[in-house]
Amino acid sequence: MFKKDGTFVKEFFYEKNTLGNGAVWDIAIWPDPKQTYLLSADGENNEIRVIKREDGSVVGSFGHNGRNAGQFHWIHAMAIDAKGNVYTAEVDTGKRIQKFKLTSDALK
């Protein structure tokens, strides 16, 4: 994390043993006024982590390796709209976009 002027504040580590392309492929900030949560797309482990920005704790996750709905093959990008819908995009042979609606249970 950095301040607007570029000053380093802090960092968090996830899946330190992940090799290959690493564990963070994209990030998105939750659209509430306090930007309480950070979503981390992990393309190597094929999941999205819901992270509390205040302390870096993982409060939830979804997805795993696979080709069916709700699964990922190299999740590469994501975006969150103002209503909290999460859109994901996969590369390599995944080549698709999925839409998720997170419930309040996922954001605790």
User: What is the pLDDT, as a whole number, of residue 108?
Assistant: 56
Where do the domains of the chain lie, and which CATH numbers do they carry? 26-106 (2.40.10)
Report percent pLDDT > 70 for the chain.
95
When pLDDT is averaged across residues 25-37 and rounded to a whole number, the result is: 93
Query: DSSP letters along 7-36, please?
Result: -B-------TT--TT-S-SEEEE--STT--
Asked if residue 77 has pLDDT above 70, the reply is yes
At 36-69, the pLDDT tens digits run 999 999 999 999 999 999 999 999 999 999 999 9
The DSSP 8-state label assigned to residue 74 in this structure reads S
Residue with tokens 């990030």: 27
